[in-house]
Chains A and B, each alone.
Chain A
Amino acid sequence: MLTKTTNYMKYSGHGAAFFAVVMGALLSPLTANNAHGAGANGPVNLYSYRQSFLMAPLLEEFTRETGIKVNAVYAKKGILQRLKAEGANSPADVVLAADITRIDAIAGEGLLQPVTSKLLEENIGPSYRHPDNLWFGLTYRARVIFTHKERIRPGEIKTYEDLANPLFKGRICMRSGKHEYNISLLASVINALGSEKAEKWVSGVKENLARRPQGNDRAQVRAIFEGECDIAIGNSYYLGKMLTNEAKPDEKKWASAVNIIFPNQPDNGNGENSTLGRGAHVNISAAGITKSAKHAVEAKLLLEFLASDKAQQIYAAQNFEYPLKKDVSLHPIVASWGSFKPDEQRLIDIAALHDSAARMMDRVGFNH
């Protein structure tokens, strides 16, 4: 009996020690990692939907210039829910999103505060920021059409509307219709043409598909290269990434087989104000300051830095995107594609149609 008790005591002693060590380890080191610092030169805490390898070089530059450290959490999903659950105590100061839908949903939940900054308003045009300055766009990219250099003649395809032309039956490749890029494109078509015409359009595109929607944007370009299809839809920056891919040189080969077409340009009879000349559908990366920000001053400095000439150039060039600030130089490859007119429908109107677009994809059974 006595031995048993001792044994038990010994065990629970170990248990308690283990528990203490574990709890110490769990709660102390990384939470204390300057995340709650204060003062004029306190850190900025960032929640980012955009990947670390894209943001890190910029954030390092910001720290070099200002001495302000940036702490970051990167996640593809759920940042909105995390902000909401953390409430007023959230450590996040800045939220960065890779597309309009996410940032607008966060603004819609009342989690962002208006930012008054002359510099931001000057650098970022009104169609690319929230009407109340809750968020600001930073870069944009176009959803373009890739066509085979020989199998599609120049001028044969000029608009998104053309993709539904029965002439191209069995010749189009696309990624999943449920991917946010395609949802967003459809939402822009709904906004421009109205629901009924948009549904007809997307059914027409589905009829023209060479294969069930699958893979990512690069895979569509590869499929053109290999002759599986002649036409694909993809984000502009993928072409730049593929053309410069040293890690997978095959991609250079694929990419050089295609032309890039910015759809719906106001030329060849498409009037500036006609829907056919409305411009190429674009999406933005954007950032805003949280309502709960403890370092609002530093947060604003970060936003202004991201909208500055220098950051705009780095930020846009490294991902082959377009800077939103005017007169910032482009990456040479991006510049070689020429200039184009972006669709200037308000992005928040397009974001508001996401739900309808997702349902429309279901109705026409786009993926099946």
Chain B
Amino acid sequence: MTAQTLTNDKNSLSWLALIGARLDGWTVSVLVVACIAAVPIITVIGLAIAPTEDIWRHLLDTVLSRYIRTTLVLMIGVGFGTFVIGTGTAWIVTMCNFPAKRIFQWALLLPMAVPAYVIAYVYTDLLEYSGPLQNSLRDAFAWQTKGEYWFPEIRSIGGAATMMTMVLYPYVYLLARSAFLEQSVCVLEASRTLGHGPWRGFFKVALPMARPAIAVGVSLVMMETLNDFGTVDFFAVATFTAGIFDVWLNMNSPSGAAQLASILLLFVGVLVTLERVGRRGRKFHNTSTRLRKLPGYQLNGLVKWVAFTAMSIPVITGFVVPAWVLGRYAVDYYANTLETSFWENVGNSLMLSALAGVIAVSIGIVLAYGLRLGQNRGIRFLTRFAALGYAVPGAVLGIGIIVALGWIDNAIDGVMKNNFGIATGLILSGTIAAVTFGYVTRFLSLSFGTLDAGLAKITTNMDGAARTLGLSRFSTLKRVHVPLMRGSILTAGLLVFVDCMKELPMTMILRPFNFETLATFVHQYASDEMLPEASLAALSIVGAGIIPVILLSRTMIMKNKPTSGDGK
């Protein structure tokens, strides 16, 4: 029975397997959840099936190749940057002893709470030609004009990639670090016994073993890069997403925009699949469960200060500088902000983000565990498909939700009117439920990806043992897997929470009357080039992100403490 469940459908390679699948509780739950989560994407693809005159001809003739080139460069730049910074910092903080290591463990996460468009505003102010840095350079060297010296252009593709790397690397850091922490120390010890130094231990053992988690981290970062509009719009960088909005709003063709978005989805789907194919057949779980404190490398002399400096840079550039700039404005402007319904907005943001976090994690567990139980291809595809929503710009996915909910509401209303003479009106559209649904579907890939990678690290022998001992599948999940992946669950929850706090385009378009969150409050000023008025609220978004960050890293540290004797 156990063996059969675990290997169930392994051989069924066709779509037909979906129909033939054994319809037990798990399969049905996974199927239902995945279907609901896929609704917005399916709607967007549905919108794409409409004639769009000659938009494609025009795009092909003019800007399409540029969109593709720019987008690829940006994705590769940000992907590579976050991979190096995220993995590097995670490894050093996890494995080396140097000054203030305890602080860096959580401080390195702080930049993720800073919205990319905010950091873009802040750095443009500082670094552009008319900013204070170039001004003092000109004063110092008595340069008069632009032509006399070279300075990198902040509003460029390189600038955009740098800004995004600065606030997105924590995604990789977080996942890589929890992977390093969950790695069995025995493997690393074995590698040392075999004569591997710290570098080879890292490249030959730790890095390959953390691959699923790092891959998830980097792919999340790339998806976030793809869906970004605020930064690329401000820097006038012509990415695919900028193109989507151009076609939608300037060429007034929502279906053309949906077609571009569908292509984006296809592209991401291929990318994600390629990565999975690349590691097919390999297993990444630990064969031992001995989770003793990892023996750190003691850094001495100059090296420890090099490490200290290297760890400081991302924290200072990604968090301290923007927080300082916002803080200075907030000192002058907090009173004006507090006069508005500031606390209500804080409450709305916290409530929605927490709610979406809990739901996204619960659904993520159901989907990830469901996939682990049954290797059904059709459901597997549907699940991964549903989690692609993250790559699509929020406003476009928001339109998908609006259209879907409007259709459902009006269909119910129609049926009720015709049969019972009762007008139900709009039940879901324009409610908090709609906003929450938007958050969950948009950020599902954060929770699903994290939890899937977390589950992959647990050997299936555990499932076998638990089932042999008479636990049901549900109890196995509850008593074996959930405790073992507490770190991943918290990570997933945190990622979703922080992203919801920052979420803007969907909140704006899906929200009910008279409903404001911190992000929408910030945006109304920021969009009108009034950052000072928005500073306190922007700082609050950052602040609200910090609390779970600290909680999480405490949990990680506790887990990392030596548990007496062997493992669990």
Contacts and interface: CB of A to CB of B under 8 A. Distances in A.
Interface of A: 4, 7-8, 22-23, 25-27, 30-31, 33, 35-36, 45, 51-53, 71-79, 81-82, 84-91, 101, 105, 175-176, 178, 180, 183, 211-219, 222-223, 225-228, 238, 247-248, 354-355, 357-359, 362-363, 365, 367-368
Interface string B479-492: 00000000000000
A95 to B, nearest CB: 14
Contacts of A88: 410
Interface stretch (B267-275, B294-302, B521-529): B521-529
Nearest to A35: B513
Interface stretch (B76-84, B98-106, B246-254, B441-449): B246-254
A52 B514 CA distance: 10
A41 to B, nearest CB: 17
Interface centre among A88, A176, A225, by most B CB within 10 Å?
A176
15 contacts: A33-B514, A73-B513, A74-B508, A77-B395, A77-B509, A78-B399, A78-B402, A91-B425, A180-B250, A211-B153, A223-B130, A225-B130, A354-B251, A355-B250, A355-B251
B129 interface: yes
B250 A354 contact: yes
A75 B146 contact: no
B252 A214 contact: no
A81 B395 CA distance: 11
A85 B403 contact: yes
Contacts of A222: 130
B62 A33 contact: no
Nearest to A176: B236
B409 A89 contact: yes
B137 to A, nearest CB: 13
B228 interface: no
Given A77-B395, A175-B236, 10 more contacts: A31-B512, A77-B245, A78-B505, A81-B509, A85-B429, A89-B409, A178-B236, A180-B250, A214-B235, A247-B533
A223 B435 CA distance: 40
A31 B516 CA distance: 14
Nearest to B129: A228
Contacts of B515: 30, 73
Contact of B514 (A72, A105, A218, A358): A72
B403 A81 contact: yes
Given A76-B508, A247-B332, A355 B426 contact: no
Contacts, number: 194
Interface string B337-359: 00000000000000000010000
A220 to B, nearest CB: 10
A214 B155 contact: yes
Contacts of B402: 78, 81-82, 85-86
B389 interface: no
B532 A76 contact: no
B233 interface: yes
Contacts of B236: 175-176, 178, 212-215, 367
B426 A178 contact: no
B441 to A, nearest CB: 15
B329 interface: yes
B544 interface: no
Contacts of A26: 431-433, 436
Interface in B428-468: 428-433, 436
Contacts of A365: 62-63
B475 A4 contact: yes
B290 interface: no
B375 to A, nearest CB: 25
Contact of B524 (A22, A53, A225): A53
B66 interface: yes
Contacts of B252: 101, 105, 354-355
Contacts of A216: 234, 529
B512 A226 contact: no
B193 interface: no
Contacts of B413: 89
A223 B129 contact: yes
A178 B242 contact: yes
A247 B409 contact: no
A31 B429 CA distance: 9
Nearest to B535: A247
B42 to A, nearest CB: 15
Contacts of B130: 222-223, 225-226, 228
A368 B332 contact: no
Contacts of B128: 215, 219
B146 to A, nearest CB: 6
B250 A73 contact: no
Interface string B145-156: 110000001011
B34 interface: no
A247 B426 contact: no
B398 interface: yes
Contacts of B332: 247
Contacts of B88: none
Contacts of A91: 425-426, 430, 513
B313 interface: no
A60 to B, nearest CB: 13
B196 to A, nearest CB: 46
Contacts of B508: 74-78
Interface centre among B58, B246, B249, by most A CB within 10 Å?
B249
Contacts of A225: 130
A114 to B, nearest CB: 22
B406 A86 contact: yes
Interface in B369-428: 395, 398-399, 402-403, 405-407, 409-410, 413, 425-428
B472 interface: yes
The 9 closest A-B pairs by CB, nearest first: A85-B406, A226-B130, A247-B532, A71-B513, A358-B250, A26-B433, A362-B62, A214-B155, A176-B236
A362 B399 contact: no
